[in-house]
Structures are given as structure tokens and as C-alpha cells.
Amino acid sequence: MKADIGVIGLAVMGQNLILNMNDNGFKVVAYNRTVSKVDEFLNGPAKGTNIVGATSLQDLVDQLERPRKVMLMVRAGGVVDQFIDNLVPLLEEGDIIIDGGNTNYPDTNRRYAELREKGIRYVGAGVSGGEEGARFGPSIMPGGDPEAWPHVKPIFQAISAKTEQGEACCDWVGKEGAGHFVKMVHNGIEYGDMQLISEAYHFMKEGLGMSHDEMQQIFAEWNKTELDSYLIEITADILGYKDEDGAPLVEKILDTAGQKGTGKWTGINALEHGIPLTLITDSVFARCLSSLKDQRVEAEKLFNNPISSIDGDKAQWVDALRQALLASKIISYAQGFMLIREASEENGWDLNYGNVALMWRGGCIIRSAFLGNIRDAFEANPELAFLGLDPYFKEILENCLPAWRQVVAKSFESGLPMPCMSSALTFLNGYTTARLPANMLQAQRDYFGAHTYERTDKPRGEFFHTNWTGKGGDISSTTYDV
């Protein structure tokens, strides 16, 4: 019997996906560039399963049922191109290559177009959920050649996480690099959620002087509210984790955040699309700032800007903080979906936003109860431009607003850095303000550069230039917009 799928790359994600496929009744051929790893896998975790190994790419291809499905679980970048180059001569028209790595979606667009010309169907699939997700049910976001979907659907939907209603957290996202695009935004949102949680922890620890046991309990409590999510749950665990000497391990971890680039790509993309994705972008910058450890240590010594403790009823502050966190999180997702909508429209991807939320509902790092509500919001109104105007989320935002303002104001007052909760609030203040001071900006642009402006008393699209000083001419500069 030929195999259903071949998987290349036996690092932990690859191995776990293969084991997951095997558990679900699919026959998998495993291959790795360092071939000795194949034997180690077959004699180790894959022992006693139906998983088989390949000694070369040709051997892998020969063992596959047609159309052949080959999934790459290798490091994103040039390695993917190398494997594609080596695989294509061995494959036939209609065969399928899937990239399950964290690839930057323009690369997937390019590979999709190149392989389409060669008759190979290409799929770029975002896979989220870390090692455990890969093993027992990840969220999978496949995009690329729609003709490939019926062939990979049974495998992907079987191995993916399921919602409580039994729906697979995997569906077809859209053509070209749409799957990897959605995974990129997922990671951006992941960065935002992690930073928001870190800000709440900082407020509790440095502002309110709470102990780790108290904080652990609070996060565990929050996990029973609308904040119910994987990241809140692991934060409670982390706060409760003691090092060998009994002290909380988290305090021994150096405060410099790493990043592999997906959050940065999301921010760059937002700038390119002109979408105010402020929270995620600020969360990337927060990681950048954290990495300037030596400079920060020096600056703290030289600059008189201490964090002062926060007085008042602790329980009240903690509840205000919960509301600030929830409201900020809504803004982050709202911004993320604004970016997804813009990219969908620009690329003609025709994305289904409710389905995106469903794919993130389970299995992935940002999985949460909240995504069920986001799905409902987009199902009720697929044209929803801003999630915060959906009745459910609008009510939460309005209810949380006073506490959220208090928390942000207090953090500024006490010298606590709070980039994301404050940027979310600033965004909402701007988004719900009909008249912003951009009239002044336009006047300045016209004053120094004859860039023209539109008038409130004239129809949109008519542009005016004023000779502000009497010295400039009446000639305006060309009008073009980014």
C-alpha cells in the first residue's frame, strides 16, 4: 500500500505532525536531509507505528500515492527553495508540495506562481500550536492552489484541533500566500497578547507589589472570564513555577525578548497597507526596547525616573486591569482583522473572516474563547470594518473604558511603561473621533510644500492650494498618495 503523504524535516514539529497523521490513520513516509535522523525516528518515537522512512527524495516520491503530497517541515527561507528545486524533477503534473513552515507570504506567492507554471500544486500552510499542537491537534491555515485542497483536506482536517462543537480548526484560507499571510497575522496577534499580559504582570508586580502566588491566582481567575485563553493559562502556570531554590523562576529570566520575525513582518505589512496596526507594532518595538538591556541598565542609573508604587484598593485595581487587558485585546484583534481585510481586498483573496477566527479558536497559541465571539461577529456581519463596533464587543469596550483609562493614566503617573494598553486606548480615542487634528497637518503640508488639501465645505476629491504667505506661487505639487 502506497503512502498518503510524505513529510520532509524531522525536527520536533515535523516528527509530531507525522505521529499525529499516523494516529489518524494516514500512512506517512518520513524523510530528513541528514538521513540518519530517519532511522533514529523510526527506531524511536515512530517505533511500532505504520510510519515508513525514505533514504532519498526519489525513494520518498516512489512510495507516495498519486497525486503525491509532499509536506516540507523545514526552516523557512532558502532551504524550502532548495527542496522544491530538488523535488520538482521527481514529481508529475498535479502533484502537491506543501510548506508547513513560518514562511513570509511573498515567498509563498512567488513559489505558488513558479510551480503553477510547472503544473505542481503548491500550498503554503501556517501551522500553529507548538510541539504539543503539532502532536495532538494544531491550528492549520492552508492557502495556495485551490485544486490541492480536496486532496489535503481529509488529512489536515483530521489532524487539526477541533472546537467544542467538533469543527476542525483548519479550513481553506485562500489562493497564493493567503495561508501564510493569515499565519503571519496570527503571530502578530500572539506578540500583542503576550505583551499585554506582560504589561498586566508588570503593573501587578511593580505597581501593586503583588506576590507571585497572588498573581498566579489572579491569572487563573481571569482564565474563567472572557479572557479565557491559552496564553493566560500558561501565564498562571509560569507565575507559579518555582526554581530549585523555591523562588519564582520567571524572575531569574533575563528581560530581553527574542523574536524570529513574524511580528516584524506583520508591522511592516501594516505600514505597507496603510493600516493603523498600532498595538502589534508597539509590541514588536517593546521587544526591541527590551533587548537594549545594557543601555537600559545604564539609563536607569543616570536618569531619575523611578516607578512609584500604586496606592488604593488592590482588588479594585486588579479588576480595572482585567478590563484594560480585555479592552486592549479587542482592539488588537480588531486591528489584525483590519489588516486581513485590506490584504484580502487588495490581493483578491476573498477571505472569510469568520473562518479565520474559527481556525484560531483551537490548537494555536492565541486560542481562546473570545475567538468564538469574533467568529459570531463576522458571521453576523461579514462587512464589519471594525470589530469594536460589533454589538457584543462594543458593549465590552464601553463598559471597560473608564477602568481602562484609569489604568493607563495610573501607569503614566507612576512611571510604568505600558506601550500596548496605552496605544490601544489611543487608537480607540482616535477611531471614535469624527474630527482629528489632521486638518492642521494638511495645512502645514500645503503651507510648506503646496501639497493641497480638501475642504469641509466642498465635495470630497476637490483639492485646493492656498498661497499662505503671499510669497509662494499658486502652483500646487502633484497629488499622489501612498
Residues with catalytic annotation?
183, 190
Instruction: Report if residue 160 touches ligand 6PG, rule: CB under 6 A.
Output: no
Instruction: Report if residue 128 touches ligand 6PG, rule: CB under 6 A.
Output: yes
Tell me the C-alpha to C-alpha distance, in Å, between residue 396 and each of 65, 231, 390, 419: 51, 20, 10, 21
Closest-by-Cβ residue to ligand 6PG is 128
Largest CA distance in the chain: 87
C-alpha cell at 412: 503614566
Comparing CB distances to ligand 6PG, the nearer of 131 and 345 is: 131
Instruction: Report if residue 229 touches ligand 6PG, rule: CB under 6 A.
Output: no
C-alpha angle 162/168/171, rounded to 5°? 150
The burial class, CB within 10 Å (0-12 / 13-18 / 19+), for 305 is: exposed
Instruction: Report if residue 364 touches ligand 6PG, rule: CB under 6 A.
Output: yes
CB of 96 to ligand 6PG, least distance (A): 22
Alpha-helical regions (H) of 95-177: 105-117, 130-136, 149-159
Q: Please count the residues of this chain forming the interface with ligand 6PG, following the rule CB under 6 A.
A: 13
Are 334 and 387 in contact, with CB atoms under 8 Å apart? yes
User: Quick one: which segment of 21-29, 240-248, 257-265, 333-341 binds ligand 6PG (CB under 6 A)?
Assistant: 257-265
d(CA 451, CA 390): 37
CB of 155 to ligand 6PG, least distance (A): 19
Tell me the C-alpha to C-alpha distance, in Å, between residue 27 and each of 58, 117, 142, 273, 390: 18, 29, 21, 42, 45
Cβ atoms < 10 Å from Cβ of 250: 17
Comparing CB distances to ligand 6PG, the nearer of 14 and 207 is: 14
CB of 331 to ligand 6PG, least distance (A): 20
CB of 127 to ligand 6PG, least distance (A): 7
Tell me the C-alpha to C-alpha distance, in Å, between residue 433 and each of 390, 421, 424, 427, 437: 18, 19, 14, 10, 10
Residues 402-431 that bind ligand 6PG (CB under 6 A): none
Comparing CB distances to ligand 6PG, the nearer of 267 and 388 is: 267
User: Quick one: which segment of 174-182, 255-263, 398-406, 447-455 binds ligand 6PG (CB under 6 A)?
Assistant: 255-263
User: Quick one: which segment of 127-135, 150-158, 237-245, 390-398 binds ligand 6PG (CB under 6 A)?
Assistant: 127-135
Comparing CB distances to ligand 6PG, the nearer of 75 and 118 is: 75
d(CA 438, CA 168): 45
CB of 254 to ligand 6PG, least distance (A): 15
Instruction: Report if residue 365 touches ligand 6PG, rule: CB under 6 A.
Output: yes
Residues ≥6 apart with Cβ < 8 Å to 101: 72, 73, 74, 75, 76, 80, 127
User: Quick one: which segment of 51-59, 233-241, 260-268, 460-468 binds ligand 6PG (CB under 6 A)?
Assistant: 260-268
DSSP state of 147: G
Query: For residues 407-419, b (16+ Cβ closer than 10 Å) or e, as one string?
Result: bbebbeebebebb
Instruction: Report if residue 130 touches ligand 6PG, rule: CB under 6 A.
Output: yes
CB of 87 to ligand 6PG, least distance (A): 24
Instruction: Report if residue 269 touches ligand 6PG, rule: CB under 6 A.
Output: no
Comparing CB distances to ligand 6PG, the nearer of 134 and 377 is: 134
Query: For residues 201-237, b (16+ Cβ closer than 10 Å) or e, as one string?
Result: bebbbbbbebebebbbebbbebbeebbebbbbbebbe
Q: 262-273 and 314-347 helices cross at what angle (nearest 10)? A: 60
Are 188 and 196 in contact, with CB atoms under 8 Å apart? no
Residues 17-76 that bind ligand 6PG (CB under 6 A): none
CB of 128 to ligand 6PG, least distance (A): 3
Residues 175-204 that bind ligand 6PG (CB under 6 A): 187, 190
Cβ atoms < 10 Å from Cβ of 55: 11
d(CA 184, CA 266): 6
Instruction: Report if residue 260 touches ligand 6PG, rule: CB under 6 A.
Output: yes
CB of 186 to ligand 6PG, least distance (A): 6
User: Quick one: which segment of 125-133, 216-224, 227-235, 306-314 binds ligand 6PG (CB under 6 A)?
Assistant: 125-133
373 phi, psi to nearest 5 deg: -70, -35
Instruction: Report if residue 268 touches ligand 6PG, rule: CB under 6 A.
Output: no
Instruction: Report if residue 7 touches ligand 6PG, rule: CB under 6 A.
Output: no
User: Quick one: which segment of 111-119, 128-136, 143-151, 198-206 binds ligand 6PG (CB under 6 A)?
Assistant: 128-136
Instruction: Report if residue 103 touches ligand 6PG, rule: CB under 6 A.
Output: no
DSSP state of 68: P
Instruction: Report if residue 102 touches ligand 6PG, rule: CB under 6 A.
Output: yes
d(CA 24, CA 26): 6
Instruction: Report if residue 262 touches ligand 6PG, rule: CB under 6 A.
Output: yes
Comparing CB distances to ligand 6PG, the nearer of 262 and 368 is: 262
Specify the residue for cell string 502533484: 95
Among 49, 259, 347, 406, binds ligand 6PG (CB under 6 A): 259
Instruction: Report if residue 290 touches ligand 6PG, rule: CB under 6 A.
Output: no
Residues that bind ligand 6PG (CB under 6 A): 102, 128-130, 187, 190, 258-260, 262-263, 364-365
